A and B are shown apart, each in its own frame.
Chain A
Amino acid sequence: DAKTTQPPSMDCAEGRAANLPCNHSTISGNEYVYWYRQIHSQGPQYIIHGLKNNETNEMASLIITEDRKSSTLILPHATLRDTAVYYCIVRVRGVIYNQGGKLIFGQGTELSVKP
């Protein structure tokens, strides 16, 4: 079972920031938070990951709370092309064996960006 909880759907106006929340209250100390998105049955696209510090890249920002029990993915200026299902995943890094850090997907959040 997925170790994360996300709202099933969210709307966002084009040009505004999209803030997607994720709860992972049982996260372990060696588990990272990963975000992927999937546009209309294409392969999932990696967005960003982090351990405990906030992270930013060209696609998004990831804010992780101090207790690491929740996080928020921020798309600063959403466009229509950001309409997708967004998955928040916790996974181990640094462990090669024992299923090598498999990804366990939940249902994700379906983000609809509207004009």
Chain B
Amino acid sequence: ETGVTQSPTHLIKTRGQQVTLRCSSQSGHNTVSWYQQALGQGPQFIFQYYREEENGRGNFPPRFSGLQFPNYSSELNVNALELDDSALYLCASSLVATDTQYFGPGTRLTVL
């Protein structure tokens, strides 16, 4: 167990809807990174939050947005859901932005 928790574990949405996924980082960690993992692929970096500021972003459109709170927990928001957004969404926390990342169990999102 890494101490990183994610909610919900599973989620079903329809095209065009909006979704919010949540992540609680390990105690003492100030950085959260989000990844998307499509079936059969390795995880792809979405963005990272370090001390409540976005600290880098991967090749994802602006409808993917995030937030980090003062307690360093984080949210991933996806607007205007598309079928291709169906994936396992992973968050990882680290002591600081450059340190080893520890992953949560993920949220499985299905878009119908």
Contact = CB atoms under 8 A, between A and B. Distances in A.
Interface of A: 2, 34, 36, 41-46, 49, 87, 92-108
Contacts of A98: 56
From A42, A45, A98, A107, residue with most partner B Cβ within 10 Å: A42
Given A42-B105, A43-B105, A104 B45 contact: yes
Nearest to B104: A43
Interface residues of B, number: 31
From A101, A104, A108, residue with most partner B Cβ within 10 Å: A101
A98 B97 CA distance: 10
Contact of A97 (B55, B58, B100, B101): B55
From A34, A95, A102, A105, residue with most partner B Cβ within 10 Å: A102
B18 to A, nearest CB: 24
Contact of B33 (A49, A94, A102): A102
Given A44-B92, A102-B45, A105-B43, 13 more contacts: A36-B103, A41-B88, A42-B105, A43-B2, A43-B92, A44-B90, A46-B101, A46-B102, A99-B45, A99-B48, A100-B31, A100-B98, A106-B42
Interface in B1-42: 2, 4, 31, 33, 35, 41-42
Contacts, number: 78
B55 A96 contact: yes
A101 B97 contact: yes
A103 B43 contact: yes
B101 A96 contact: no
Contact of A105 (B44, B55, B105): B44
A49 to B, nearest CB: 7
Contacts of B97: 96-97, 100-101
A105 B58 CA distance: 13
A84 B95 CA distance: 26
A49 B45 CA distance: 19
25 contacts: A42-B106, A43-B2, A43-B4, A44-B90, A87-B42, A96-B50, A96-B98, A97-B55, A97-B56, A97-B97, A99-B57, A100-B31, A100-B33, A100-B50, A100-B55, A100-B98, A102-B33, A102-B48, A103-B33, A103-B43, A103-B101, A104-B45, A105-B35, A107-B41, A108-B42
